[in-house]
Structure 1
Amino acid sequence: MKPVIALVGRPNVGKSTLFNRLTKTRDAIVADFAGLTRDRHYGNGRAGSREYIVIDTGGFEPDAGSGIFKEMAKQTRQAVAEADVVIFVVDAREGLSAQDHDIANELRRLGKPCLLAANKAEGMASSARLVDFYELGFGEVYAVSAAHGQGVRELVELALEPLNLPEPEDDEDVDAESRPIRLAVAGRPNVGKSTLINTWLGEERLVAFDMPGTTRDAITVPFERNGQRFELIDTAGLRRKGKVFEAIEKFSVVKTLQAIESANVVLLLLDATQGVTDQDAHIAGYALESGRAVVIAINKWDAVDSYQREQVNRQIESRLPFLKFASLHFISATKRQGLGPVWQAIVQAHRAANRKMSTPVLTRLLLEAVQFQAPKKSGMYRPKLRYAHQGGMNPPVIIIHGNSLEHVTDAYRRFLEGRFRKEFDLVGTPLRIEFKTSHNPFAEKNG
């Protein structure tokens, strides 16, 4: 599981700038629960070969009594609870403030490992002003500049170092067919994840047991169905109660993100009575970004009328157009309706994600596609697609070689994707196509 770093501090100290620097993007996965006034932002970061999740929080006022600042403080405390380590960000230019002291006291009370980062410290590494921050009692003060990237990499490495993270398992040599399918059931609170999981555990008469987690309290539930082994990765708060698993509806964004990262297949569970929300789209987007195979299940289908069903179908087309590759199923977890086809789709998506595609077949398909419809000319250049080969699995990656491939349009990429998907039956998995242009040794001479 990826470790989690939370950025905490008072307003305007540069937390969001540091977040963007760590994630190398200006985008964020937003936990937009109903009723929240200020949201926590989640993103992926990487330090060398080590990946992590970073959480950006709003300005922290621990003693806020009511209103928006109380909600923001609540969100920050939740982020700290989800984190493995906290980076406490202060403003090196403005110096130490009383609010910094309040935040320091609160962080000590919460008891998470914490590093103190003095931001906006470009040119101030040896400034006497930084000495004041030692009063906060967190030991070393690390001078950084999020805007310029100074000291940021060293800060993250120091944050990750004491976590004793296990190295990623190298299981490429093990046949994917012989390993259990790791399945994450992801979705908003109250869509029926726990009900579905309990139905599975009861219906299949499974023997379930705890498997040790890594740095967090993650739980996987191994079980077998029709000879196929699965590992259900906890996103709904499974806890042992005696010898029986009791599913408690407990939503943690980090838990969901980590479960998606650890899975082979994600079952995206939607609520027919609520429709497709922005939060559903965020979870779906993260699954796609992670390259996971996806199956969509609409729960509580028995509880809606024909008009609502039509609305849900329209919302899926408009809000989840990027998941057209995923199969769609309508179920009722409480009445155990429609669950069989879901299992079949999960196995099919896993096989598609690990499909082996031979170079001769890929190249033949590519040349046939070009013959059927050549790519458009762009100015003086017309892309020439010469051959293709597989560049990876889970998700499948197809690498196409040729000349002037930077001019291939998105529409033509989708055209090629459709041809490859149809030939290899790639239902339920993302497909990534990469273009590699050959270097022309005469280009410079001709210039």
Structure 2
Amino acid sequence: MTALARVALVGRPNVGKSTLFNRLVRKKLAIVDDSAGTTRDWREAEADLAGLRFLAIDTAGLEDARGDVMEARMRQGTERALAEADVALFVIDAREGVTPTDRYFADVMRKQSTPVILVVNKVEGRATMSGLGEAYALGLGDPVPLSAVHGDGFADLYEALVPYVPVPEEGDEEAREEGPRKINLAIVGRPNAGKSTLLNALVGDERALTGPEPGLTRDSIHVEWTYKDRPIRLVDTAGMRKRARVVDVLEKAAVDETLRAIRLAHVVVLVLDANAILDKQDLTIARLVEEEGRALVLAVNKWDIVDDKNESVQRLKDRIQTSLAQVREIVALPISAKKERGLDKLMDAVLTMHDLWDTRIATGRLNRWLAGMTQSHPPPAVSGRANRARYMTQIKARPPTFALWCSHPEALPDSYVRYLVNGLRDAFKLPGIPIRFLLRKGENPYADKGSDED
């Protein structure tokens, strides 16, 4: 299969790189706002420009900053993305014209080895023509004028990219479908729990911006990765604070992006701070993951700095027992993302939970199990008449979802449903997996369709 070319979008803050990125990938993946510095990490997604397929990389705005300040770390991430790219789109703003910062970074771009295409964004009306004319003085060749907001000028961008982006070879689409199915793994948690540090430790690269400042991550950062031959899409998300404390527009957008990442995930790793295990906000996030039907693994981070580990373990078990009883035997593992300890056990647990989440149980096995359960503990009678559990089947996986046909579903107590769900977990080895259990009225709907296979 032909590897996708990597196209990095670079430029100073607020020139429209994220808007262009969203246009290329045909989704609103990057948060867009008028304030400078909205994008802090670089993120990538597959783009399609009139059949020309490539990996688009949205980067943080280039600023002339040094040292360990956040802007300097953002610039370092952009420079790394640029070094890994096959071609760069250097984006400037036609409305503002060429600025001293544009000139400075144009000089930088000319000296590095990655080919550069100069893109003049926000070309809308005659008032922006002077900015387009100034772009020629940057010495980066003929500029490509376009409007990312309105979708104008993308035919010229296509022509500019063709020399650097190979046309997909015949049979590539079929090759893309072969092999194991990709696991979508979202890393979530409160601010400063160590989510970005965990992502960097897993992939062995400073892929996400980290630092002592809370709320560094805004966009969800997607990284394609492989663990034990299993393809994984890692998603680092913004920290989720209590809703009442979220007042900033950008933070609200970041939280919405995190919620979207949870909904699209297969497995969610909830990163906990070992010094504040499963506080109220952690529990809120865990319940949200369960409600969305995603497989959940708890990663107790910063375990290396915990003084009384036995006391912490007991506190964690107590909190799970009292506050997450709806997901029995949830997996919780101590790790240190900073020192890269416990990561293999964490990822092995992720693979196991994904496979359990994708479990399918044959109808014959389910109904033999159901007969034993109802014989040991029959459903409570309704007005002196038996409430017969007649038939059961699994109607979907991801998460495992079961339907039970009985005489009076409306009268079956919640306690009896919990008895059946807990029995399912024990009999079919489904610890820590969200289970959906639906009640239906009537006889066996498949009674006249032949016997079920095991």
TM-score (norm 1): 0.51
Alignment-derived partner of residue 230 in structure 2: 228
Give the 3 Å change call, closer, same or farther, for CA 390–417 of structure 1 in structure 2.
same
Q: Taking structure 1 as reference, are residues 420 and 320 closer, same or farther at Cα in structure 2, changes over 3 Å only?
A: closer
Q: 1:178 is paired with a residue of what secondary structure?
A: coil
1-structure distance, mates of 2:401, 2:177: 18
Output the CA distance in 1 between the equivalents of 2:431 and 2:285.
20
TM-superposed deviation, 1:175? 9.6
The equivalent of 1:371 in structure 2 is: 375
User: Is 1:279 aligned to 2:268, yes or no?
Assistant: no
Distance in 1, matches of 2:398 and 2:339, equals 33
Question: Counterparts of 2:225 and 2:338 in 1: how far apart (Å)?
Answer: 20
| Matched ranges for 1:297-308 at <5 A | 297-304=299-306, 305=308, 306-308=310-312
Going from structure 1 to structure 2, the CA distance change for 1:206 and 1:359 (only over 3 Å counts) comes to farther
Whole-angstrom CA distance in 1 between matches of 2:328 and 2:189: 18
Aligned 1:388-399 pairs, distance under 5 A: 388-399=392-403
Secondary structure, counterpart of 2:326 in structure 1: helix
Equivalent in 370, 375, 386 of residue 390 of structure 2: 386
Instruction: Determine the structure 2 residue equivalent to 1:183.
Output: 185
Q: Deviations over 1:168-208 (max 9, x none)?
A: xxxxxx99983110000110011111111111111xx7999
Letter in 2 for 1:392: K
Which amino acid in structure 2 is aligned with residue 361 of structure 1? R
> Aligned letter for 1:348?
T
> Structure 1's 397 and 2: CA in aligned 2 closer, same or farther, altered over 3 A?
farther
Structure 2, gaps ≥5 residues long? 1-25, 30-148, 152-175, 209-217, 240-250, 445-454
Letter in 1 for 2:303: W
Q: Which residue of 1 aligns with 2:327?
A: 323
Find the partner of 1:347 among 348, 351, 356: 351
**Matches of 1:3 and 1:331, distance apart in 2:** 33
* Percent of matched pairs sharing the same residue: 35
Q: Give the conservation status (yes or no) of the 8 Å contact 1:268–1:294.
A: yes
Distance 1:176 1:268, change over 3 A: farther
Change (3 A) 1:309 1:181: same
CA RMSD of aligned residues (A): 3.5
1:313 aligns with 2:308: no
Alpha-carbon offset, residue 330 of structure 1: 1.4
Q: Which has the larger radius of gyration?
A: 2
Secondary structure of the corresponding residue to residue 321 of structure 1: coil
After TM superposition, give the deviation of residue 291 of structure 1 in Å: 0.7
2: CA distance between counterparts of 1:370 and 1:330?
39
- 2:417 aligned partner: 413
CA contact (8 A) 1:325 1:430 kept: no
Q: Counterparts of 2:257 and 2:400 in 1: how far apart (Å)?
A: 26
The change in CA–CA distance for 1:373 and 1:206 in structure 2 (over 3 A counts) is farther
Q: Which runs of 5+ in 1 are unaligned?
A: 5-161, 165-173, 209-215, 238-248, 441-447
- Asked if structure 2 preserves the Cα contact closer than 8 Å seen for 1:395 and 1:429, the reply is yes
Number of aligned residue pairs: 254
